[in-house]
Amino acid sequence: MSHDAAPLIHADGRVLAAIDPSHYATSVARYAAWAATRMAAPLELLHAIDHVHGKPATTDLSGNLALGAQDTLLDQLAAVDEQRGKLAQRQGRALLDAARAQVAESHGIPAGTRQRHGTLLESLLELEPGVRLFVLGKRGEHADFASGHLGSNLERVVRAVHRPVLVAARAFKPVERFLIAFDGSATTRKCVEMVGASPLLQGLEAHVLMVGEANVAADAHLDWARTQLQAAGFDPIVECLPGTPDTLIAQQVTERKIDLLVMGAYGHSRIRSLILGSTTTQVLRSCQIAVLLLR
């Protein structure tokens, strides 16, 4: 690679895991520890306290209350808000301490912890320059588990950040084989190159799936992917199959016993979001395994 070229991956920086009081907290911590271990990167656990979410709506009662009663009510509301803030901090600290202990027990590595006020997205964007990989759960603490639901925090984060995002499955599973969703485009070619350049997936069983009709063009794309991955030390299994991307990818993940799916993330431009966003979202909804989103 030319010294003047922009690096495919960020070879320094830490793995940052977003921990919240959801069912994904333990899984997020363990996937983050797995990634940090494979990349020999520092690990940090983050809890963001969003004071806006879940805060009860306040109503202007000044026309209905005497002055003294109004002042008393406002004082009481302020006291409730202060107490709620303290409880959120204590809960967050307990979550971080539990996740740090889990990481030490399961992977034998230390983890730093950080608590910040504000939305998760604000925190991640501010911390991004020092981050190599983000790790998040598919659903957050405020999401229900209705079939097909995708956490709104996740989609906002994935659309906004520029670092890779590892979306944890609900239960941690050691990664032995991964599948790259590939269509020959510049975006998915870069995914292949990034996989080859990173230590994260080295030594694991590699699969490349192209969805569409097999023809000369598809063969050429797959030959390119095979050559790139072989040069990086993989022995990839490449295949082109007909079908619709979201359905076929989920099916192949199950049939091949894939532990990690690698995909291109949403585009930052509106046009790219409209084209790529639907497949990305549908696959995230339907797959029960961890998903690595690369940009």
Q: Is residue 162 located within the same domain as residue 184?
A: no
Q: Is residue 164 located within the same domain as residue 27?
A: yes
Residue scoring higher pLDDT (30 or 70): 30
**Final residue before a domain boundary, out of 168, 192, 212:** 168
**H helix or E strand, kind and range, residue 46:** strand 43-49
Q: Which residues contact 64 (CB under 8 A, 6 or more apart)?
A: none
75-106 pLDDT, tens digit per residue, is 777 777 767 767 778 888 999 999 999 999 99
Can you tell me the mean pLDDT for 125-137?
96
Asked if 180 and 192 count as a contact pair (C-beta separation under 8 A), the reply is: yes
**Whole-angstrom Cα distance, residue 201 to residue 205?**
9
Q: Is residue 183 located within the same domain as residue 276?
A: yes
Can you tell me the mean pLDDT for 261-281?
61
The answer as to whether 4 is a domain residue is: no
Q: Is residue 24 located within the same domain as residue 145?
A: yes
Q: Which residues span the domain enclosing 278?
A: 177-294
Asked if 150 and 281 count as a contact pair (C-beta separation under 8 A), the reply is: yes
282 falls in which pLDDT band (50, 70, 90)? confident
Domains of the chain: total: 2
| pTM for this predicted structure | 0.83
Which pLDDT score, from 0 to 100, does residue 52 have? 55
Q: Is residue 18 located within the same domain as residue 125?
A: yes
The answer as to whether 74 is a domain residue is: no
13-69 pLDDT, tens digit per residue, is 999 999 998 889 999 999 999 999 999 999 999 999 886 544 444 445 555 556 667
